[in-house]
Structure 1
Amino acid sequence: MQMLWPEARPEMTDTMLAELYRFPPDRRWVQANFVSSVDGAVTVSGKSEGLGSPADKKVFMLGRALCDVVLVGAGTVIVEAYRGVRPVDGRPVPPIAVVTARGSLSPDLPLFTDTHVPPIVITTAQADHAALKAAGAEVIVAGETSVDLRRALDELASRGLRHVNCEGGPTLFGRLVADDLVDELNLTLSPQLAVGDAERIAHGPMVTAPRSLELRSVLHDADVLMLRYQRRESGRDSS
């Protein structure tokens, strides 16, 4: 893997990658990780794995290794058969935090049955909290009938989980964008044309004004591009 920009580096070591992708140590930070085909598809046959590559997998795993918590939507958890994050090199294992308004998650999901740390379910007052807790989850209530994502992030931060790595899906990411809660986007472009009717990386109502991003780095490996963007202006509480 090599860096093309902002400076040319013929080989990126693991130490260089960790420094490049590290979270700001002194503030709350929400980053999103996505892989997309060149024509904008985020899935092939309903799953993202058809777009992945060894380099993309490395960046994906690095996001998990460096974050405090992995944030993901319930639909993605079910379709991608999410399980708990695996321990790596003695690092603290981040919990998976699932956003679901109804809280309708089967206790048989690998999320609950194959994990080293209890998952977090971010849900609403109307969900069946007892069933979720019985499945082994910590429950965060962040709204009456819909999940207030700003409140959810505040609740995570109050637990010391300030560095958030969002892995999708498009609906959750779209809501984070609409609420202006995204600090960084790590986007891998897979050298494929998928066509079809797959979603884009963000899905939801049109925002009043597109969020302005700044390109911070470009990595390259075997025709795959890994782009790292950050918001042009912070404009958000750093608590």
Structure 2
Amino acid sequence: MPTHSELFDAYALHGRDGTRVRMNFVSSADGAVTLGGQSGALGGDTDRELMQVLRAMADVVLVGAGTVRAEGYGGLKVDEGDVEWRRARGLDDQPALAVLSGRLHLDPADSVFTEAVRAPVIVTTDAAAAADGRRFESVATVLACGEDEVDLAAMLDAFARRGWTQVLCEGGPHLFGALLQADLVDEVCITLAPRFVGGEAGRIVQGAAEADRRFHLAGVVTDDEGFVFFRYVAS
């Protein structure tokens, strides 16, 4: 099994200048993005360790509201060893969490808010923020980016003004598709699980128009459970 330190080396960021959007997804060998409706059910020990490593490197973890509901996001945090790693590099103890919800279909009582170790940011539209944003004032910061649809480039600019240039996106597939369609994805980290799922599960990308988007393979890691971890960087 690769160690925590080895995963840090394999996925190291070379400099933190400029915004970088890194995706992290798990998929079965036959392309399913979920098992029983959850992506976490496909993962293994190394996959979960890698998720912590990628979060430790990030300024902000971005996730869509649908994924928050499906995966039961609670108090996202990195462990004490990774806190020390972040402090040594002048980073906040914990990465920020940003939840994208164009229509604010969230509940202030959701665990993503009540168990948060750092108050999340909700990214939404101007219209939704004006109509319903006050409902979240006690649990989150509401960030309006776009009149009727979330403007993803404007969102990243708003993140950068907060010093959040290293963005880790954990899905879901429609958010991945939207970022890909807007040519805003710099890196994709894919865990390939040694499982064949069948069924009706979708792919890791949904909603993006078909196009030949070229990425190059920047690294491969394997573990004793048969998982393969690919790191792709935009060409």
Fold similarity call, TM over 0.5: yes
Q: Is the 8 A contact 1:84 1:119 kept in 2?
A: no
Q: Is the 8 A contact 2:16 2:165 kept in 1?
A: no
- The yes-or-no answer on 1:131 pairing with 2:135 is yes
- The amino acid across from 2:61 in the alignment is V
Identity of aligned residues (%): 42
- The yes-or-no answer on 1:39 pairing with 2:39 is no
Deviation at 1:162, TM superposition (A): 0.6
Aligned to 1:107: 108
Question: CA separation in 2, counterparts of 1:95 and 1:84?
Answer: 11
The structure with the largest helix share of the pair is: 2
Alignment of 1:117-128 (within 5 A): 117-127=118-128, 128=132
Match of 2:39 among 41, 48, 60: 48
2:134 is paired with a residue whose SS is: helix
Q: Is the 8 A contact 2:17 2:165 kept in 1?
A: no
Name the CA shift for 1:215/1:98 in 2 (closer, same or farther; >3 Å).
same
Give me the TM-score of the superposition, normalised by structure 1. Answer: 0.89
Deviation at 1:126, TM superposition (A): 1.5
Q: Is the 8 A contact 2:4 2:53 kept in 1?
A: no
Match of 1:63 among 29, 54, 58: 54
Deviation at 1:181, TM superposition (A): 0.5
Give me the TM-score of the superposition, normalised by structure 2. Answer: 0.90
Alignment of 1:99-178 (within 5 A): 99-127=100-128, 128-134=132-138, 136-178=139-181
Question: CA separation in 1, counterparts of 2:231 and 2:49?
Answer: 14
Question: CA separation in 2, counterparts of 1:197 and 1:104?
Answer: 25
Deviation at 1:16, TM superposition (A): 3.1
Deviation at 1:108, TM superposition (A): 1.1
Q: How many residues align?
A: 220
- The amino acid across from 1:18 in the alignment is F
Deviation at 1:205, TM superposition (A): 3.7
Aligned to 2:6: 16
Structure 1 segments (4+ residues) deviating >4 Å = none
Aligned to 2:89: none
Question: CA separation in 1, counterparts of 2:149 and 2:77?
Answer: 30
Q: Is the 8 A contact 1:69 1:161 kept in 2?
A: yes
Deviation at 1:71, TM superposition (A): 0.3
- The amino acid across from 1:112 in the alignment is F
Question: CA separation in 1, counterparts of 2:199 and 2:25?
Answer: 18
Aligned to 1:4: none
Q: Is the 8 A contact 2:55 2:78 kept in 1?
A: no
Structure 2 gap ranges (5+)? 87-92
Greater CA drift, 58-67 or 19-28: 19-28
Name the CA shift for 1:94/1:189 in 2 (closer, same or farther; >3 Å).
same
Structure 1 gap ranges (5+)? 2-11, 233-239
Question: CA separation in 1, counterparts of 2:184 and 2:215?
Answer: 13
Aligned to 1:84: 75
Question: CA separation in 2, counterparts of 1:215 and 1:45?
Answer: 30
Q: Is the 8 A contact 2:59 2:166 kept in 1?
A: yes
Residues 32-55 of structure 1, C-alpha deviations (whole Å, 9 max, x = no match):
000000010010110012201001
Deviation at 1:14, TM superposition (A): 3.0
Give the alignment's Cα RMSD to 1 decimal: 1.2
Q: Is the 8 A contact 2:65 2:100 kept in 1?
A: yes
2:118 is paired with a residue whose SS is: coil
Question: CA separation in 1, counterparts of 2:154 and 2:12?
Answer: 24
Q: Is the 8 A contact 2:27 2:42 kept in 1?
A: yes
